[in-house]
Amino acid sequence: MFSGDLGSDDNEIYNDVFTHNSLLGYEGTVNASDITYPTYGSIYGEIEIYTNNTVYKVPLVFGDNNAMLRRGGGQYIGSHFPGEGSTILVSGHNTNYFNCLKHTKVGEFIEIKTNYGKYKYEIIDVSAKHKTDKTAYDLNAEKETLVLYTCYPFDVVGYKVNRYFVTAILVSGPQIDPYH
């Protein structure tokens, strides 16, 4: 965590980053020091998937082992939190919480509600890929992207080698300010 005063050059860079990010869909900021980050296995938010004239509500769990996926969508702990400006990677079983992904279409919306803000994302891509295909997401992306995925095909019982990915970009929500 950053401590101390920003120098004038640092202030300029800091302000440029926040100006640039406000153009990417951020509305306001929330101080990182005001956020209680979740512990492994805890539910820290809710995903609302708007598709097919229906809203599907899914608990958002920090962690993605089988026990957690029975409780909701599991966020990969190597991904970022909403508001941090990079990729949020969330998996779920297609037999319960993420079965609704088969109905999603480009242009529809997904929201994530946390105790520090509400984030809205627009779906820009839906695709099936092999489970080892890493082109479906970039954990080092420089813009906030939400990626939800589940096993594919949906209606086949048993082991599946493909995954169905729903990719969405940030439309609105507060940016986390790591310096405060």
pLDDT per position as a tens digit, 68-113 = 999 999 999 999 999 999 999 999 999 999 999 999 999 999 999 9
The answer on pLDDT for 167 being more than 70 is yes
Q: Is residue 2 part of a domain?
A: no
In a domain, 61, yes or no: yes
Cβ neighbours of residue 102 under 8 Å, at least 6 residues apart? Answer: 94, 154, 164
Is residue 3 situated within a structural domain? Answer: no
In this prediction the pTM is 0.86
CATH number at residue 114: 2.40.260.10
Taking the CA atoms of residue 100, residue 167, residue 93 and residue 81 in that order, the dihedral angle to the nearest 10 degrees is -120
Res 24: pLDDT: 62
